[in-house]
């Protein structure tokens, strides 16, 4: 009999209840007792939903108070020395200090979780002595069983993946060091499994996503070593080794590892997992947890096609060996469509968030077990037919315009050396300072927006408030002596959602929130149809800001590939074709800004690397398509117009050719939180355009000292010419408080002045 399973559930609550509990705790509006009571209630409600839906194998311990990798690190005593030494379970304040930093200690590095928009805290293993401070997996298993009678499936990040996602001396753990650290860490996993076995746990989901990114076949022995040790310690506990986000390259070696089951992704595998299954079969007596429903996008499944996929899988796997589930944890999608009261019914009918995906899995499981699901199949087909046949997805003008631009030359009029001479008219100083775009969205900004949305504030009154706030921050920037200013983006809730509200072919949800990092939640827009620019989006606010100052103000846009990677994108077209449509729409906006007199235009691509395929064999095509879409947007301007872009949280060495190919005049890159690691990319490869390596971390509330920022600038100037270098924070400042932002920027400007003085350069 086929069973239904779930690999993980969103943590944040239908209306971000978890986020608000956490932020109230940080603001001392509630105490720890209230926080823990609230999060427990939310956690149990999430489990109850899955129980009621009929999921056979429900995950437990997939919940987190911030990040599951940080949870694993804290459980094993992996705490950077600057935060203290611990011999017992960390308090909540100690736990959050690692993620957010303190006055005296820089926050731990944060980076993307594989190729998703979720960010994890990077464990630092320098000087660490592993110790089991908290068997959180046992705690949550017991809670689910006692409170709801759920015999859950604890979800544990596997030791090999945990170590590979960690760093020692600012380098990811690899090679002999990986072997050594695994030998030290593995006994603690053994202890956990023994305790789980004693409590009666039947199945454990051991997440080893790095199996899907394995480059060296020899490393399979590491996973084998782990599984052998765990089975020997707790033979009664069955282990499901869970992979996701890509196919496994060494299929036969992996599915024959000593585990009771394997979770494989049949959605994002380019068909490779299915082909390997059909070619090689599947071991007798083991479970295949087949990820057949897309756990990273929000479109309703074509149940008939999914049923066909299940039938193909069943040709190689017996029914009693098969679990059906999503391709990965549902952490990456919103929770439920039921709260979307304002969506176009045709679009809403084509959606499936976490709860609906669980329902799809349960339905497909019933179908696989001989239950009649004819009505569900018909409902799925009718909903998808209505969406695919609608005018939203059949705009002939858009398709024709894209073909026309692709047939033309999408390059700047002149080479960069010629452009930089033309841009001398901008009269920029040596080591120019700027910010990335956004300024703090204060409680007043949010309350005014809320009142406007509810209709309690007129359009005129709201615009008047936005203008007042923009004018105030232009003056603040002038007083700080920042060289190139921004208008602050007070009208924007999110850098992608904002454009999604203005371009045809996009729509936004009311409660389609997903976790990006910590309490930071984003509400990705839905690219549901053909994308078209209909009128200027940013021109009015940018021109207003420019009129308030004699200094240059940047126009601020979000580029196509970031929009793609930070949106939920229609799945009936290849993503590169959707990116071309968005790129063309934004080209019109860039031209409108230039025509309005804006001389510097920043077209951000913070998520360029984020969407890079995990398999190297698919990367060049992705990068070529990304460069093409960016150039569609940016190459219609005059030489005198300076094009900027921004990227964050990236390892840049392997994509520097693509970054250069974007042909932006200035690029700004995150650098400080990774302790300047981004600079290493430019030690090997000479970059011939202008660049700003972020000189302080904006994701932490701490205010960096002048000396700290100056040190970051000087380090960058060792590999980048002073005439190429810009000084800026790591990222936008929307999430910071004004009391943090102004002193930090003041210190940044002072550090710039100090460096200019020492170098003997003048403005």
CB 414 within 8 A of CB 422: yes
Was 731 annotated as part of a binding site?
Answer: yes
CA dist 630 → 91, 641, 730 (Å) = 46, 16, 21
d(CA 359, CA 394): 30
Asked whether the beta carbons of 55 and 110 are under 8 A apart, the reply is: no
Is 164 part of any known ligand binding site?
no
Is residue 604 a known part of a binding site? yes
- The answer to whether 18 is a known ligand-binding residue is yes
The C-alpha R_g of the chain, in whole angstroms, comes to 26
566 is in an annotated binding site: yes
Residue 126: CB atoms within 10 Å: 12
Helix pair 303-314, 272-280: axis angle to 10 deg: 30
Bridge pairing between strands 690-693 and 725-726: parallel
Q: Are strands 526-532 and 552-558 parallel, antiparallel or unpaired?
A: unpaired
489 is in an annotated binding site: yes
The three state secondary structure string of 567-588 is CEECCCCCHHHHHHHHHHHHHH
Contact (CB, 8 A) for 288 and 322: yes
Whether residue 670 is annotated as binding a ligand: the answer is yes
Given a contact cutoff of 8 angstroms between Cβ atoms, the answer to whether 206 and 158 are in contact is yes
Angle between helices 396-407 and 575-595 (to 10 degrees): 80
Residue-by-residue DSSP string for 399-444: HHHHHHHHHS--S-SS-HHHHHHHGGGG-PPSS-BB--SB----HH
Query: Does 683 belong to an annotated binding site?
Result: no
To the question of whether residue 344 is assigned a binding role by annotation, the answer is: no
> Count of residues for the chain?
763
Asked if residue 117 belongs to a known ligand binding site, the reply is yes
For the record, the structure tokens of 451 come out as 């009142």
Burial class (CB in 10 A: 0-12, 13-18, 19+), 441: buried
Residue 23 annotated as lining a ligand binding site: no
Asked if 105 and 135 touch (Cβ cutoff 8 Å), the reply is no
Question: Which residue is listed with tokens 């398709």?
Answer: 399
E strands within 294-409? Answer: 322-326
Q: Binding residue per annotation — 476?
A: no
438 annotated as belonging to a binding site for a ligand: yes
Q: Say whether 437 counts as a known binding-site residue.
A: yes
Catalytic residues: 699
Is 19 part of any known ligand binding site? yes
Binding-site annotation, residues for L-homocysteine? 436-438, 489, 604
Binding-site annotation, residues for 5-methyltetrahydropteroyltri-L-glutamate? 16-19, 112, 117, 520-521, 566, 610
Binding-site annotation, residues? 16-19, 112, 117, 436-438, 489, 520-521, 566, 604, 610, 646, 648, 670, 731
Binding-site annotation, residues for Zn(2+)? 646, 648, 670, 731
Binding-site annotation, residues for L-methionine? 436-438, 489, 604
């Amino acid at each position: 009999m086929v069973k239904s399973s779930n690999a993980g559930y969103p943590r944040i609550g239908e209306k971000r209840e978890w986020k608000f509990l956490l932020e109230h705790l940080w603001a001392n509006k509630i105490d720890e007792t209230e926080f823990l009571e609230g999060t427990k209630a939310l956690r149990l409600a999430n489990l109850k939903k899955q129980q009621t839906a009929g999921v056979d194998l429900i995950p437990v311990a997939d919940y987190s108070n911030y990040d599951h990798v940080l949870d694993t690190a804290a459980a094993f005593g992996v705490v950077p020395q600057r935060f203290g030494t611990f011999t017992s379970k960390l308090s909540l304040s100690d736990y959050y200090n690692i993620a957010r930093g303190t006055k005296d200690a820089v926050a731990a590095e944060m980076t993307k979780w594989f190729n998703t928009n979720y960010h994890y805290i990077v464990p630092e293993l320098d000087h660490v002595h592993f110790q089991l401070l908290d068997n959180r997996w046992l705690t949550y298993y017991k809670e689910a069983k006692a409170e709801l009678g759920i015999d859950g499936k604890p979800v544990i990040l596997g030791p090999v993946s945990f170590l590979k996602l960690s760093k020692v001396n600012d380098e990811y753990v690899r090679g002999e060091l990986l072997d050594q650290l695994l030998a030290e860490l593995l006994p603690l996993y053994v202890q956990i499994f023994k305790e789980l076995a004693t409590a009666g746990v039947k199945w454990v989901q051991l997440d080893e996503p790095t199996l899907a990114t394995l480059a060296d076949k020899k490393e399979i022995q590491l996973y084998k070593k782990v599984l052998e040790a765990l089975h020997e310690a707790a033979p009664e506990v069955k282990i499901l080794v869970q992979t996701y986000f890509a196919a496994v390259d060494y299929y036969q070696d992996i599915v024959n590892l000593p585990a009771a089951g394997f979770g494989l992704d049949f959605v994002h595998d380019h068909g490779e997992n299915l082909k390997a299954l059909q070619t090689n079969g599947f071991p007798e007596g083991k479970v295949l947890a087949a990820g057949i429903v897309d756990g990273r996008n929000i479109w309703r499944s074509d149940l008939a096609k999914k049923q066909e996929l299940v039938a193909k899988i069943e040709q190689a796997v017996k029914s009693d060996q098969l679990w059906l589930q999503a391709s990965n944890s549902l952490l990456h999608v919103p929770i439920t469509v039921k709260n979307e009261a304002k969506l176009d019914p045709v679009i809403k009918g084509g959606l499936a968030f976490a709860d609906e995906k669980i329902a799809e899995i349960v339905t497909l499981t019933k179908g696989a077990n001989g239950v009649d699901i004819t009505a569900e199949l018909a409902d799925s087909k009718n909903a998808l037919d209505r969406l695919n046949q609608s005018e939203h997805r059949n705009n002939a003008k858009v398709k024709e315009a894209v073909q026309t631009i692709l047939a033309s030359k999408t390059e700047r009029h002149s080479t960069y050396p010629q452009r930089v001479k033309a841009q001398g008219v901008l009269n920029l100083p040596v080591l120019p300072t700027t910010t990335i775009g956004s300024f703090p969205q204060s409680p007043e900004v949010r309350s005014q927006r809320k009142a406007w949305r509810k209709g309690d504030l007129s359009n005129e009154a709201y615009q008047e408030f936005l203008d007042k706030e923009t004018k105030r921050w232009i003056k603040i920037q002038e007083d700080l002596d920042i060289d190139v200013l921004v208008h602050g983006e007070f009208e924007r809730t999110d850098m992608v959602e904002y454009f999604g509200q203005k371009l045809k072919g996009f729509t936004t949800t009311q409660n389609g929130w997903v976790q990006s990092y910590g309490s930071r939640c984003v509400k990705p827009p839905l690219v549901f149809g053909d994308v078209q620019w209909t009128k200027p989006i940013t021109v009015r606010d940018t021109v207003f800001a420019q009129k308030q100052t004699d200094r240059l103000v940047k126009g601020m846009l979000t580029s196509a590939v970031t929009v793609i990677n930070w949106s939920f994108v229609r799945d009936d077209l290849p993503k590169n074709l959707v990116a071309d449509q968005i790129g063309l729409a934004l080209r019109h906006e860039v031209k409108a800004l230039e025509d309005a007199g804006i001389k510097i235009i920043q077209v951000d691509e913070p998520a360029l690397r984020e969407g890079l395929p995990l398999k190297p064999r698919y990367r060049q095509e992705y990068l070529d398509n990304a460069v093409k879409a960016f150039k569609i947007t940016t190459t219609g301007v005059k030489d005198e117009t300076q094009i900027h872009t921004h990227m964050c949280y990236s390892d840049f060495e392997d994509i520097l050719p693509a970054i250069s190919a974007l042909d932006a005049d200035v690029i700004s890159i995150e650098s400080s939180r990774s302790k300047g690691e981004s600079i290493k990319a430019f030690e090997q490869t000479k970059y011939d355009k202008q660049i700003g390596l972020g000189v302080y971390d904006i994701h932490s509330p701490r205010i960096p000292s002048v000396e700290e920022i100056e040190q970051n600038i000087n380090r960058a100037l060792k590999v980048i010419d002073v005439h190429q270098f810009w000084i800026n924070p790591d990222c936008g400042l929307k999430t910071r408080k004004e009391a943090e932002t102004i002193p930090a920027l003041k210190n940044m400007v002072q550090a710039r002045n100090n460096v200019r003085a020492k170098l003997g350069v003048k403005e």
